[in-house]
Amino acid sequence: MEVVEKKQNGICILGLLGRLDSNTSPEFEKKIFEVIEDGTKSLIVDFESLDYISSAGLRVLLKATKELKRSDGKIVLCSMKEYIKEVFEIAGFVSLFPIVSSVGDAMEEF
């Protein structure tokens, strides 16, 4: 798994590549919390190149959004494959995160 960080118009974009599973989610957790501790309040997580997520990855996103909400920040998720979006629906996560179809649409959410 790889996490690519970009900054655009004051918004931080984390692009995920590969598999976010029980083994790689600690690495993603470290990265997303670093970004939050650096003061980022507007965060986009781009799923375009993510092939796989399990409950371990969802857990990290939930922890991160709770942390960001404390400082009035927000996470927007984008470019998810249909089968990945389905697990967000099963988990009831669609009410916790705006999920949009592209990074461009995600930028509009802020």
Partner 1 sequence: MANSLSISFANDMQELTHLLQVVNVFLEPRALSSKLVYAVNLILEEILMNIIKYGYDDEDSHEIEVQIGVEEEEVALTVIDDGKEFNPLTIPGLARSKSAMDRLEEGLGLQFVRHMRNAMEYRREEDKNILTIWIFL
| Neighbouring residues of 79: CB distance < 8 A, sequence distance ≥ 6 | 46, 47, 48, 101, 102, 103
DSSP state of 96: T
Query: CA angle 59-91-48, nearest 5°?
Result: 70
Nearer to partner 1, 14 or 58 (CB): 58
Q: What are the residues binding partner 1 (CB under 8 A)?
A: 21-23, 51-52, 54-56, 58-59, 62, 81-84, 87, 90-93, 95-96
The distance of closest approach from Cβ of residue 78 to partner 1 in the complex, given in angstroms and rounded to an integer, is 19
The distance of closest approach from Cβ of residue 60 to partner 1 in the complex, given in angstroms and rounded to an integer, is 11
Nearer to partner 1, 23 or 49 (CB): 23
By residue count, the chain amounts to 110
The distance of closest approach from Cβ of residue 39 to partner 1 in the complex, given in angstroms and rounded to an integer, is 25
